[in-house]
Amino acid sequence: MRNKIKTHKATAKRFKITGSGKVARTHQQKRNNAHLKSKKSRSEKRLNPDSYVINAKGQVKRIKKLLNI
């Protein structure tokens, strides 16, 4: 009997797979939105993109391997 393949948890926390199968990561600015928040305008805080799609084939392949997809 073979062992189960485990998901790399650090990768799972940082990336998500979209409905069409693309790999997206949370934008750094959105994750740390509390950092220096008083200096940023209301619109700047609101308009930060939630996710950023990764297009590099090598990186997508590596991330999907870590997520067991």
Structural domain boundaries of the chain? Answer: 9-66
Query: What confidence tens digit (pLDDT) does each residue in 7-66 have?
Result: 999 999 889 998 999 999 876 655 556 667 788 788 877 776 667 889 999 999 999 999
Q: Is 21 left (phi over 0), alpha (psi -120 to 50) or beta?
A: left
Return the closest-CA partner of residue 63 out of 3, 1, 14, 27. Answer: 14
What's the rounded Cα separation, in Å, for the pair 14 and 53?
Answer: 12
Amino acid at 61: K
Q: Which amino acid is at 38?
A: S
Pick the CATH number of 9-66 from 2.60.40, 3.40.1350, 4.10.410, 1.20.1070: 4.10.410
